[in-house]
Amino acid sequence: MLDYNNPNFVLMVEGLTVSFDGFKAVNDLSFYVEPNECRVIIGPNGAGKTTVLDLICGRTKATAGAVAFKGHDLLKMREDQIVHAGVGRKFQTPSVYEDLSVFANLELSYPKGHGVFGALFFRRDQAVRERIEEIAEMIFLKDHLAQKAAFLSHGQKQWLEIGMLLIQDPELLMLDEPVAGMSVAERKKTAELLNRIIADRSVIVIEHDMGFVEDIATRVTVLHQGKVLSEGSMDRVQNDPKVIEVYLGH
């Protein structure tokens, strides 16, 4: 039986399975994330990486298994409750609110006024403004606060979405390909940004860029056909013959 309150781990995933019409996208998957760890999930296309994040954050309902986060049973919770428990999720394609300003994008993510009437009577007070400026500075968008998010570059949208998560101050941050589609310069800046923000929280990252993975990973989990193929340090995983065969080899 899974001990939901085990203090050694922030996130415990055990026996997680999801089946879409008989196809098991994630099959009896288990892994454990420690406090302040940066876990990178790699694997070939269709290995179930994004599905794992979807299952943890409540977007997809699991068929079997358990996901424990700080004493919560995430599989029994709604998406917004999972967010309030402290799990933040960044999507693969940047999803920001294009019709709203950068400021409003960050403001909507500020963890206050999340009920209907809370939102109706929400005031932009000093604390909100300061926090938004602080985050904007961190994500290199301080000069773009009044701009519509639709006019940002692809990389800037990725940063904005990361900023929207940071303002929630989640204990567990899940990032799906945060550097995909970025220029070399943007990528460098993002690595620097991520290194700064993962310092005091646990992070799960899905990434293909091996240089980037080496830069940030505490540990690496290799997924293949919905199962863990290998797990450990980057070095260990890179030299695992099973991994070389299915993934790094080609």
Partner 1 sequence: MINPFTHKYMNGREALGFAILAAIIFVLFPLVLEPFRLNLFGKYLTYAFVAVGLVLCWGVGGILSLGQGVFFGLGGYCMAMFLKLEASSPENTAIQSTPGIPDFMDWNQLTALPWWWEPFNSFAFTIFAVVAVPVVFAFVIGVAMFRRRVGGVYFAIITQAIAAILTILIIGQQGFTGGVNGITDLRTLHGWDIRTDEAKTTLYFVNGVLLFAVLFAAQFVRKSKLGRLLIAMRDQEDRVRFSGYDVANFKIFVFCLGAAFAAIGGAMFTLQVGFMSPSFVGIVPSIEMVIFAAVGGRLSILGAVYGTLLVNWAKTTFSESFPELWLLGLGALFIAVVMAFPNGLAGVWAEQVAPRLRKLWPGNAAAPENTPAE
Binding site for partner 1 (CB under 8 A): 57, 59, 78-80, 83-84, 88-89, 91, 95-101, 103-104, 107-109, 111, 113-116, 119-122, 124, 129, 145-149, 161, 164, 168
Q: Least distance in Å: CB of 60 to partner 1?
A: 12
Q: Least distance in Å: CB of 74 to partner 1?
A: 13
CB-based contacts of 162, cutoff 8 Å, min separation 6: 90, 139, 175, 178, 190, 193, 194, 197
CB contact at 8 A, 100 and 94: no
If phi > 0 it is left, if psi is from -120 to 50 it is alpha, else beta; for residue 29 that is: beta
Distance CA 143, CA 137 (A): 8
Q: Least distance in Å: CB of 247 to partner 1?
A: 29
Residue closer to partner 1, measured from CB, 132 or 237:
132
Residue closer to partner 1, measured from CB, 85 or 228:
85
Element at 174 (helix H, strand E) = strand 172-176
Q: What is the residue whose two structure tokens read 């996208």?
A: 25
Distance CA 71, CA 15 (A): 17
Q: Least distance in Å: CB of 72 to partner 1?
A: 14
Token pair for 65: 């298994």
Residue closer to partner 1, measured from CB, 30 or 147:
147
User: Phi and psi dihedrals of 27, rounded to 5?
Assistant: -130, 105
3-state secondary structure of 32: strand
Residue closer to partner 1, measured from CB, 64 or 108:
108
Residue of 14, 22, 3, 18 lying closest to 59 (CA atoms)? 18
Residue closer to partner 1, measured from CB, 165 or 222:
165
Q: Least distance in Å: CB of 7 to partner 1?
A: 25
For the chain, what is the largest distance between any 2 Cα atoms, rounded to a whole number of angstroms? 59
Residue closer to partner 1, measured from CB, 22 or 121:
121
